[in-house]
Amino acid sequence: MKLLEKILVPVTLEENRSSHLETAVALAKTFKSQIIVIHVLPEQAKHASVNQYVLKHVEKDLDTVIKDLHEEDVTIKRIIEYGNTFDRIMTCAEDEGVNLILFSNFIEQQNGKYSMDVVAEKLVRKSDKPVWIVRDGDRTFPNAMLCTVDFSDASRRALSNAIKIARTFKKRLYILNIMKPVENNFSPRYSIDFEEENKKIARENKKLFEEFLAEFNFTDVDYETIIEKGEPASEILSFVSRKNIDLLFMGATGKTFLQRVLLGSVTEKLIRELPCSMVITKAESILNLKIDSDISEIEKHLANAKRLEDSGYYEEAIHQLKLCIQKNDLHIPALYALAKLYDKIGDTEKSETYRQTIDTILRRLWDKTVEFEIRKQLGY
């Protein structure tokens, strides 16, 4: 079973065990993922007169990185490409069918902020794959996460990813919606009660926020929902600073056509400011369920069910447990897990049915044990 099958990690020769490699390892160990390390050389490096020397040097450095990763007990694939860095990464992501592109390509400026290099910015703009930008120097894996939502499809995908990551890694998740108030910049000829109008907008926005959140299952997630008022980018930056946010989830498109063309003005500003590590989602999600076709043993079904439950795939976890029951209808751990999962999805009737089944089996086993002991004592 795979939830996050392949992680593409572009690397340069200057880095060794940087923050984004540490993050890739943390994800790969949790989700049993394959890490694909890619390094792109200039086209000139293919020239016969220099290729063997360049390749020898590059392979030595990459082998050092891969050796360190192998020690973490994760599966590694090494790829060396030639040509335009952005094009080669994009092509590799499609050819390998990766779930996530994870990188750290930032240059620290004199003002203490970070700015993306051209390749990183193009990846964020043009890749349909989720992009995880690890700000160099940040901790291996975040403690506090933030997802901003504007009720768009892109923010739905962002929140879905954030919930599953927060649940899996047992991290705090803040869900932030920002309402932009109507300002008094109209002509004096218009008689508008701005205070009353903003109250009306706030009520409507709160209702939309509640309806939006109702689409998601927050069982086993430590989360808090917040509505702020103001300019979205400024409010997000302020919130990240106040709450010491380590990882920000965002949809890459806004709600208007112009924003979709331009990536999303708020998203773009935050990427350029880079207040913390970020996950940008567009058309695809990070975690996609893929069940291996050759699973047969009860232990594997149980392990699958646990990983699915940890990431919020409750219905799929129930299916795995039912496969256990098909093979052994007296398997108490599977029956107990089923009862617990049905509680989580709110089906108390089925939960109680499985608990009664467990009680019946335990009584039957107890009776047989007692009967066996009596027969042994009586010499039967």
Q: Residue 144: which H helix or E strand, with range?
A: strand 144-148
Q: How confident is the model at residue 255 (pLDDT cuts 50, 70, 90)?
A: very low
251-256 average pLDDT score: 59
CA distance linking residue 285 with residue 287, whole number of Å: 6
- Can you give the length of the chain in residues? 380
What architecture is the 299-378 domain classified under in CATH? Alpha Horseshoe (1.25)
pLDDT at 261: 39
Complete DSSP assignment for 177-208:
EEE----S-S-TTS---HHHHHHHHHHHHHHH
Residue 37 phi, psi (nearest 5): -90, 125
Q: Which one has a higher pLDDT value, 31 or 195?
A: 31
Q: How confident is the model at residue 16 (pLDDT cuts 50, 70, 90)?
A: low
Beta strand 114-116 pairing with 106-108: antiparallel
Are the beta carbons of 9 and 127 closer than 8 angstroms?
Answer: no
In whole angstroms, give the CA distance from residue 308 to residue 311: 5
d(CA 123, CA 100): 12
CATH code of 1-135, in short, is 3.40.50.620
Section 113-122 average pLDDT: 67
Question: pLDDT per residue over 359-375, tens digit each?
Answer: 887 777 666 555 556 55
pLDDT of 295 higher than 50:
no
- Average pLDDT, whole number, for the chain? 80
Residue 376: CB atoms within 10 Å: 9
DSSP 54-85: HHHHHHHHHHHHHHHHHTTT-EEEEEEEES-H
Q: Where are the domains of the chain?
A: 1-135, 299-378
Q: What tokens were used for 145? A: 């996460």
d(CA 348, CA 199): 40
Task: List helix spans (H) across 15-47.
Answer: 19-31
Supply angle C-alpha 365, 370, 372, rounded to 5: 95
Contact 86, 1 (CB under 8 A): no
**Residue, of 133 and 272, whose pLDDT is higher:** 133
Per-residue confidence band for 153, with pLDDT thresholds at 50, 70 and 90 = confident
The predicted pLDDT at position 367 comes to 63
Residue 207 Cα distances to 163, 210, 212, 231, 283, angstroms: 21, 5, 9, 20, 26
Please give the Cα distance from 88 to 349 (Å, whole number): 54
Q: What is the pLDDT of residues 43-73, one digit of tens each?
A: 887 787 777 777 877 787 777 777 777 677 7
State if pTM tops 0.85: no
Number of helices and strands in the chain (H, E)? 13, 12
Is the pLDDT reported for residue 312 higher than 90? no
CB neighbour burial string for 82-112, b if at least 16 within 10 angstroms, e if fewer: eeebbebbbebbeebebbbbbbbbbeeeeee
pLDDT score recorded for residue 292: 45
pLDDT at 301: 86
Extract the tokens encoding 311: 């990431």
